[in-house]
Structure 1
């Protein structure tokens, strides 16, 4: 399975056309992804023929949430379910870097019958094998990870240990541009691993009039006149490469 992270339903449709098996629907990928609007969820689920998983994350930053934030998360899970999402992507940590099992169990129960993925909050945990066991205990279906490093190559040892420790009890979805041959060099069930990536580019705004004295972000980097553009050709090429390498 190849999952593509997208920002909005238009990118979701482009990812499907490029060969994605599933999309993770987000807003604000510059923040690592936060909960998209109801309209984006509704349009993505209505128009995509592949599964749509919705990230449920009220803000950027850490994964230690207040009670008010967790209440909003449960409401967003309910809304995603109502709009026909196939799954949600969530994650909760304790102050000492463990999976918050109580909250994970409550959120998983709220999500069913949708699928549940734990996002890269996992990569911020203190002990990956402990976290795998905690996610399994909480009933999570899948965990996203680059091996607790910025890329899969640096995190390869942790990823292989995760896959072995999981032993098919939970799907490990690998991100960070892995070489599948390095993950499959042992007795690993191929159906125990999914792949996740994005292919983001930018294009110039079609605006002809531009006010150089005003900017909306915190830095004057001309972002008001740039637009995200999913690179469908890059997605198709990476997906083909992943499948070819896995097959070899």
Structure 2
């Protein structure tokens, strides 16, 4: 029989619009990861989007720092300047934390650039994002480096397309990094699989979008624009509530 413990639930919802951010907050999200273009995996949002959403919700907002699309996560000197400039602007505007990751040409962590971001963001927390999942470096060694650099969290799907398929690595990471780095399962987390992910990994935080296809007030259907070829998704308030209920129901046994 496992000992009782107090679980402080942490549901992070990734959003890329005002509508999604407000829906997530109403649904009970504990933290937002704010991006633009989630369809590309999430890019740096506009400062206007951040400031407006910050004035409308009370939960913490972590800002994505990713200056362009592409899954190499190797940044040029000019792109590094963009990241650090964005970081400064969002920090001054009241960001609660950041989400960032960078790799070198060998597919390992870009230590020097990560050090620069951690230093510039201090004392705010920084999450290392799913650049981890396309890296070639040994996952345990890389997680240890991420912790040593000063990141507080690691968002990962366990180096699979979805977290449900990477739960064994996620479980191992949580066990190995306990007390040093918070491991957050993310990617493809749904109502149907959240309980299985929690029961296997014992994760105390999780990350999802709780998205549904946006329905427009009038039909958009022409040669270039329609919801099949250019889908638009928004965070669904009720889905957020259901995810939170699954989380809370699972951890009630430990209270």
The equivalent residue for 1:16 is 25
The equivalent residue for 2:150 is 139
From 115, 121, 126, the equivalent of 2:125 is 115
Query: Which moved further from structure 2: 21-30 or 152-161?
Result: 152-161
From 55, 60, 72, the equivalent of 1:46 is 55
SS in 2 for 1:239: helix
The equivalent residue for 1:173 is 184
> Which runs of no fewer than 5 residues in structure 1 stay unpaired?
185-189
The equivalent residue for 1:195 is 206
> Which runs of no fewer than 5 residues in structure 2 stay unpaired?
1-9
The reply to whether residue 154 of structure 1 matches residue 165 of structure 2 is: yes
TM-score, normalised with respect to structure 2: 0.86
Question: 1:230 Cα deviation (Å)?
Answer: 1.8
C-alpha distance in 2 between matches for 1:211 and 1:167: 50
8 Å CA contact 1:54, 1:87 repeated in 2: yes
8 Å CA contact 1:144, 1:174 repeated in 2: yes
SS in 2 for 1:148: coil
8 Å CA contact 1:56, 1:73 repeated in 2: yes
C-alpha distance in 2 between matches for 1:129 and 1:103: 20
The equivalent residue for 2:64 is 55
Query: Which moved further from structure 2: 56-65 or 173-182?
Result: 173-182
Question: 1:139 Cα deviation (Å)?
Answer: 0.7
From 75, 81, 87, the equivalent of 2:97 is 87
C-alpha distance in 2 between matches for 1:133 and 1:222: 41
Q: How many residues end up aligned between the 2 structures?
A: 235
Structure scoring higher RCO (CA < 8 A, sep ≥ 6) equals 2
The reply to whether residue 234 of structure 1 matches residue 245 of structure 2 is: no
8 Å CA contact 2:153, 2:183 repeated in 1: yes
8 Å CA contact 2:20, 2:236 repeated in 1: no
